[in-house]
Chain A
């Protein structure tokens, strides 16, 4: 079964601080997705990777957000500097394909920026 580990599960930080969210897929996949979930905007795709290469980052809200995938087993989403409006739950998801394949979601990181 596909699985995803995300860390930390909860993060509280102050405005202006750098935040790094981590995602560790624990099984085979070709695609990795980062989503953000808020009450106002629902679930939004931020960026996705195919074989560790960023393919579509059109959902990244601004230059303060960046994502990397240095290898197939690890990805980071960084916010620098963080702002209160970045408070949300951030999900990492993986799949073995793009067209119609099931995406397997991690448990999410709940971020609160004060």
Chain B
């Protein structure tokens, strides 16, 4: 069965600093990979997704993620964090044959001024 691990439960960065959120997945083949963001009291919003092709994926709000097959990782990055980026971030993997999403436990991002 597929699984997703987000090793960092909580990350704190200063505004303007760079950010990297880690995501590791377990799946027998190349999966579909997603990053979603959840602001307090809100539903999840898609940041970006990877299907195939270029392993560096650009998303909304200045985020990007890189698929590394050898490391089974799909880490999310942003070069300069804004205070409005404070939220919880979820990595998800979808099976290519079935498509049901499995979500990681989430990483809470706190941004200090």
Give the size range of B's interface with the partner: 20 to 34
A residues with a Cβ closer than 8 A to B are: 4, 42-43, 45, 48, 56, 91, 93, 97-108
Given pairs A45-B100, A100-B32, A103-B44, 8 additional interface contacts (CB within 8 A):
A56-B100, A97-B99, A98-B100, A99-B96, A100-B94, A101-B99, A104-B46, A105-B43
B residues with a Cβ closer than 8 A to A are: 32, 34, 36, 41-46, 49, 51, 90, 94, 96, 98-106
Would you list 23 pairs from A and B whose C-beta atoms are within 8 A, ordered by A residue? Answer: A42-B103, A42-B104, A43-B90, A43-B103, A45-B102, A56-B100, A91-B43, A93-B44, A98-B99, A98-B100, A99-B32, A99-B94, A99-B99, A100-B32, A100-B96, A103-B44, A103-B101, A105-B36, A105-B43, A105-B45, A107-B42, A107-B43, A108-B42
A66 to B: closest C-beta gap in Å: 20
B35 to A: closest C-beta gap in Å: 12
- With A42-B103, A100-B32, A103-B101 known as contacts, the answer to whether A4 contacts B94 (CB < 8 A) is no
Contacts of B96 in A (CB 8 A): 99-100
Q: Are B43 and A4 in contact (CB under 8 A)?
A: yes
